[in-house]
């Protein structure tokens, strides 16, 4: 099953047989920049840069800033940060 966003771009592919979901994220110029699936996340910037993170390396960090409100970081950006 496929789902499309408001601009008619492919946003989600769901394989109902094996219950896997792949999501696609686009930038403001409608360029595909992220592919998030069970095997990991792939970041694509233009025609010159592509980086893949395995599902094992991907993590979602929750930080508690000084104001006391938790905020979530994007898994690709969080995984590239030093700990």
DSSP code of residue 28: T
What pLDDT score does 55 carry? 56
What pLDDT score does 60 carry? 40
**16-75 pLDDT, tens digit each:** 999 999 999 998 888 888 999 998 889 888 877 878 876 544 444 334 445 444 444 444
Q: Is residue 11 predicted with pLDDT exceeding 70?
A: yes
What pLDDT score does 31 carry? 86
What pLDDT score does 64 carry? 41
Beta pairing, strands 10-15 & 2-4: antiparallel
Query: Which residue, among 27, 25, 31, 34, has the nearest Cα to 52 in the 3D structure?
Result: 34
> Rounded to whole angstroms, how far apart are CA atoms 77 and 53?
11
Mean of the pLDDT values across residues 5-9? 92
């Amino acid at each position: 099953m496929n789902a499309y966003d408001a601009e008619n771009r492919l946003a989600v592919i769901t394989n109902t047989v094996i219950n896997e979901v792949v999501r696609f994220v686009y930038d403001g110029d409608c360029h595909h920049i992220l592919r998030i699936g069970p095997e990991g996340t792939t970041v694509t910037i233009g025609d010159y840069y592509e980086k893949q993170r395995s599902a094992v390396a991907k993590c979602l960090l929750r930080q508690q800033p000084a104001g006391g409100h938790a905020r979530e970081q994007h898994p690709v950006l969080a995984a590239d940060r030093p700990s």
